[in-house]
Structure 1
Amino acid sequence: MKSISALVVWLLLPLATFAQLHKDPTAWSASLAKQPAKVGDVVTVQIQASISGDWHIYSNDLNPDIGPLPTTFKFKPSDGLQRMGDPVPVGVEEAYEEVWKSKIRQFSGKALFLQKVKVLKPNAVFEGTVEYMACSSKDGTCLPPAEAEFSVAITTAGSEAAKPPVVADASTPKATSAVTEGAAQPGATTIPPADTVASAPAGQTIDSTVARAVSAPVQTLNETATEADGSLWGFIVAAFLSGLVALLTPCVFPIIPATVSFFTNQQGGQWKALLYGVFIVAIYVLIGTVVSRFNGPAFANFVSTHWLPNVLFFATFFIFGLSFLGLFEIVLPNALINKADAQSEKGGIAGIFFMAFTLVLVSFSCTGPIVGSLLVASAGGEIIKPIIGMAAFSSAFAIPFTLFAAFPHWLKSLPKSGGWLNSVKVVLGFLEIALALKFLSVADQVYHWNLLDREVFLSLWIVIFALIGFYFLGKIRLPHDSETKVVSVPRLLMAIATFAFVVYMVPGLWGAPLKALSGYLPPETSQDFSLHNSTASTEIIENPLGEQPKYADLFHFPRGLQGFFDYNQAMAYAKKVNKPVFIDFTGWGCVNCREMEARVWSDPAVMSRLQKDFVMLALYVDDKTELPEADWYTSVYDGKVKKSIGAQNADLQITKYNANAQPHYCIVGSDGKLLVAPKNYDRSVENFVTFLDTGKGKFIP
């Protein structure tokens, strides 16, 4: 089942751009109640955590058999100190949690643990790590177990405070934390958040702002951006409508009459049909649950940008397209079909379940792309949203089977299966071949193969859709088609629409922007020849190092805009010219990125501001260009070595700006700090202009 759900989420990930991260809501610190101490004294170290919002962590004396991870401590051995017993939790709350079916001991708002320590030598340092799990009381979301370090210098009378060691080793991070800067208690060392720390590549100096704790205003901005990212109800409605669309696919529509007839001819057919629909919903929800539990940002990045899944998708869609055109027929193995039939014919609840499961599998080739778009939310580690989305989709998908069983006379209003359905299948075959090119294009752009530049891609689409137009007119007959003696009015209208679309695409061969297709075509910068006159100035930005922007041979801004593709280089230039930086976290396979560039950036009001008021910085998060080994570093977010341009850019976006969505626009000062709340996909030119003006207004020269 896991492999099936993983394949589902693969199908449209290259077309999706939105995912969210949960920030660690805890901030850990350690302090000594009384300083200085004397050798031989027993002192009390206070280990505490500030817990934000509706989150809580579990006490260290919680029974581990209940389910959640208790807070655990590991202390670094020291010959200058001796621990006296284990940490004692103070202010523990007891509550019953339905998910664990038990009473639990937890902390919310603030956690405090007291550890008694005997001082054996002067100026010793008490240090260790704490492992904990944070869960939300609002929606039940639990973050993966995280680890933070703490240390406190224990000074003795008549001596200066010993400097505490560095509390975070950037090469071996365990978790991200959202920590607010502030004055620590005397003798305390506040743990810097991992989401603002990055380890420096060999021989390089890391940007100091990346290693600083997040300030309170920035944290608020990130939270505001998260809240504004979208409506859950809007997502539910979209998922439901997607389920209705899926019913009209040739893999599903012909099954409706046969399935409903089966139930209406049985005793108790109505309740069995209802149970059949419930099982359909349950199977899809199970897929959403599995995906939400087992997949994360790294998985999403792999399937959406790596050449292997994209080439595999290209081959799969291309083969399905040829099959729909009539070259051959793809069928399940007879043994599998017979086994499924045998299980469904047993009757009872088990038989109904296997009928529902068979429907899900058989319809997968048509519903997979739709389902995949609904599962994208799971890429950011969300739990509730993908489950709700799958429930809404499958509810719409299952409704007809229940309603037609309850009102069988409605079946008479359905169109009869026949030649029209084969025509739908043929058109779908052409469309699947066209869609297959999109997957190949993603791999081509990410790995710079230069196989499908914009004009080549457009040429293929023009031919494919022209063939669809001729097919509607009956000028093309494929193996399973009957002769079209008379062109019906609906076919004529569809032919007109198709040829109009072809005519719309033709100017794109000479550089027309084609805004309606901007998200699906390769970027305009890949076009070899263009008659399109950009409204942007082509003046080259002066580089503070006296050289062209780094990676300018790989990346280009659209419409003549000039800028940088390396974070440190852009920040250095911004400091020199005293301008804010506009950061565009983008990707080769990002549909909405291309659409924003074509529909929003192209507006004169936006173009003039981007050109004059900001230093432009584009960071491609999916580029696979491998960097020299000297530039590799280990991420504090996931502990993995980042070797490519895209991996380092993606890691920067996650660790510094707490997001992994594309497009993701940030306006920052030359120190890298956010000036306003970041912005994601929004086709409103007015909103984008306001975003730019607000960011510029917040910048202090």
Structure 2
Amino acid sequence: MRKSRAIQTAVAVAMMLTAPVAWAQSKAPDVKLTLASSVAEAAPGEPFELALKFEFPSGFHIYWENPGDSGLAPQVNWKLPEGFKAGTLQFPAPTRHEASGLVTYVLEGSPILLTTVTPGEDAKVGSTVEIGAGVSWLVCKESCFRGSKSVSVSIPVAAAPRPVEDDITFKLAHRSLPVSAGQAKLITIKPSATKSTVAKEDEFEIVLDVDIKDGYHTQSNAPLGEFFVATAVFPRTVEGLTFGEPVWPEPHVRTDKVFGKISEFVDAFKVRVPVKVESPTSSEDVQITGLLNYQACDESGRCHPPQAVEWSVSVKSGSVLAGAANAPVVGNAGNAVAAKTDTVEPEEARADDAAPAEEKPKAAATSKTISSVDNGWMSRWGIWGAILGGMLGGLILNVMPCVLPVISIKILSFVQQADEDPKRVFHLGLMFCAGIIISFWALAGGILGLREFYGEQAGWGAFFQQPKFIIGMSTLMFAFALSLFGVFEISLPGSATTKLAGATEREGLSGAFMKGVLATLLATPCTAPFLGPAIAFALTNSVFVVAVVFTAVGFGMALPYLLLTANPGWLKYLPRPGAWMNTFKQLMG
């Protein structure tokens, strides 16, 4: 017994020592933000550039203008002198990032965002103007952290503009920007759409025909070497449209004497990007733009610097032009523009309101999570498919590792109650199920609240972007594990007390309810088949749909226990109480 207690204590101490490490990983990184001007002196009516430079620790990233499956692009509110106007925010080329089945488009290193500012013609020569920006962002590694800051720069106004002497920031920024098709090296790109006119619920494709110069190749979309640059497509956000995962051709695979196996595109290739129209657009012409990232190499292995090339396709909106011809349309690779251009009024920005609601990324901008739902059974069944998927996902949650410990304890309580009054067993089961379902309602409410804060990108794991929640859950699971190890016992209040008395413990109603709550809490870091599409569908619809789908998830998770307690005769198939129960509890710990 003493030896067993010593082992339990050692395990507890080890968990206590490692807990601060997990908590430290939840600390928000130090993000530095600076605002720089391309001119030392501005002149009336003469445009100049402003640069927003982010600096954060290695391993972290922020998001591109289309963040992908999750995330939030930086939001900027300019505070401009009267008569000054700011143009579109220009982003550097992103990197494709995959984690936990999600594909996001991220900016790493020290990304620099650019915009062009045009002073008013009546700007007073000899005065000094101050330009400010309220900036908000989401920076992520294992966890994500919301940040905001106000920055400003003072610029004298002169009769003629005078550039800054050290413009290294702007040289680096322009080097990382996408180029037009005419500036692309060693490739030509021809974009087109498979439909010329589109309406709500239509599906079509953006097709990029790429020709590679003789004697050169690009890496495929899935290179075989860690240091190779993948060819990638990044569509920009277009309101009302969702983009699926690009469909790539089979690459040419060969063996190189130096690099080993290489997966590459040679001569020419064609990539297709699925698009679905989720809602009618407000304009007659819908411009779809994006980037093609690549790196061209010759046969000797000498590679040119990676490039990102702009492409653009325009289609007609069927909601505006009914009955137009539905023939394929050829796009323009050379004159792509950003998806949104703003004229900013002066004196309006604060750090707190740096992300106005109308500029938050729309759910339609996500490229995989929603489109994967729409392309499968969810698109055919709608809310009924989401309800069924939620129930199946909730059912499968019962066997996920993060939920299994508390579920196993509930099963042990069933074992203990096998000889009790069937009505009491059923009532306890109902309370356990009520704890699960009500907790899922609370979880849905919390996610809806986070959705208001983060935009449409908050999802199933949104709470695990909150350091306080992570610390609280770590503490809860740590205490729960100690209880399972037998370091101490947890007595839950109930209408009948829950004092432990060996194998004859009688669980109270409120105790059963709290075990249902605990099971739901432990389910938050888990996912399961069918659950992701159902949750994604719900979170892009109304509050009512969210409530219905989360209720279905909770009901699916509670269903086995409801059936078991409603049929007490089934309890006879469970093993009889005995010493094995303590061993099983410690194993779960």
**Higher relative helix content:** 1
Question: Do they superpose with TM above 0.5?
Answer: no
What is the TM-score with the length of structure 1 in the denominator? 0.27
